[in-house]
């Protein structure tokens, strides 16, 4: 995991200043350490942006009584482990599936918006999820990130049932190279947006294990915002195609 302190974000999506961008003035790194320092700093800048996106995944069509499912205690405190598959080459993801909870959605590319936050899928197309292009593609070394709405003004959205997922569940990502990257859910977490653990959510292990994080909203809904983010952690276990 990265050792840098993680940025934080409030429910309005305002992130803490992550410091100067990689390669910019004021990095304070000795010459010999600059390549590594720049890489780690860039990762934190990206993490801050993605946290903003997580804070923006709002729903305004669901009340507290009819809200999306919440993870069970068994899911939150359970875990799954197994052998990790070898990393794949880079290839753009096209679709994500979580068969156990009925998710099957096209993926769009998400860059950064004008505020420097990760753009989110359009509210007008609640059936789409998005892959953040600033991180690895699903199956590459490191942690890929997919985000999607839980609901919108139009009703339930793509990740509405994600709270029902359990450790060990299969996640399939169809890629442009015709391969299907197969992941298993290792753990599920609900995190307070005011204390978003960017270092844990967006960091990968020291070996660069191919991982995928799926993020949506959860927790209490106040009529405008969800208080938390639901984070599903997965690791690559195989590939078909």
- Which token pair is 83? 């052998």
Cβ-Cβ contacts under 8 Å for 28 (sequence gap 6 or more): none
H/E run at residue 220: strand 211-221
Q: What SS3 class is residue 6?
A: coil
Would you put residue 64 in left (φ > 0), alpha (ψ -120 to 50) or beta? alpha
Q: Determine phi and psi for 184, rounding to 5 degrees.
A: -120, 140
What is the number of other CB atoms lying within 10 angstroms of the CB of residue 62? 19
Instruction: Please give the Cα distance from 57 to 149 (Å, whole number).
Output: 6
CATH fold of the domain at 31-240: Sortase; Chain: A; (2.40.260)
Query: Would you give per-residue pLDDT tens digits along the chain (241 residues)?
Result: 333 323 333 222 333 222 222 222 232 333 333 334 434 444 444 444 444 444 444 444 444 446 799 999 999 999 999 999 999 999 999 999 999 999 999 999 998 888 777 788 988 999 999 999 988 999 999 999 999 999 988 889 999 999 999 999 999 999 999 999 999 999 999 999 888 888 888 787 778 899 999 999 999 888 888 999 999 999 999 999 9
Q: Determine phi and psi for 55, rounding to 5 degrees.
A: -75, -20
Picking from 190, 182, 189, the residue whose alpha carbon sits closest to that of residue 211 is: 182
Each domain of the chain, given as residue ranges in start order, spans 31-240
- Which token pair is 95? 């679709």
């Amino acid at each position: 995991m990265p050792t840098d302190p993680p940025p934080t974000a409030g429910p309005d999506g305002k992130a803490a200043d992550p410091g100067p961008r990689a390669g910019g003035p004021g990095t304070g790194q000795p010459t010999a350490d600059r390549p590594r320092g720049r890489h780690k700093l860039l990762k934190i800048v990206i993490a801050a942006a993605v946290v903003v996106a997580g804070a923006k995944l709002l729903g305004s069509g669901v009340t507290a009584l009819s809200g999306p499912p919440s993870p069970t205690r068994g899911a939150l405190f359970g875990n799954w482990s197994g052998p990790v598959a070898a990393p794949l080459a880079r290839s753009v993801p096209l679709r994500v599936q979580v068969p156990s909870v009925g998710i099957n959605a096209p993926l769009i590319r998400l860059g950064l918006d004008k505020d420097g936050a990760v753009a989110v899928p359009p509210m007008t197309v609640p059936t789409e999820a998005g892959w953040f292009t600033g991180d690895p593609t699903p199956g590459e070394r490191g942690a890929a990130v997919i985000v999607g709405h839980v609901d919108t003004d139009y009703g339930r959205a793509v990740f509405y049932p994600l709270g029902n997922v359990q450790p060990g569940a299969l996640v399939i990502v169809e890629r442009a190279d015709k391969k299907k990257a197969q992941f298993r859910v290792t753990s599920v977490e609900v995190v307070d947006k005011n204390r978003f653990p960017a270092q844990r959510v967006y960091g990968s292990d020291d070996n660069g294990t191919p991982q995928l994080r799926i993020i949506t909203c959860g927790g209490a809904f106040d009529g405008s915002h969800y208080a938390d983010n639901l984070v599903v952690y997965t690791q690559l276990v195989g590939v078909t195609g």
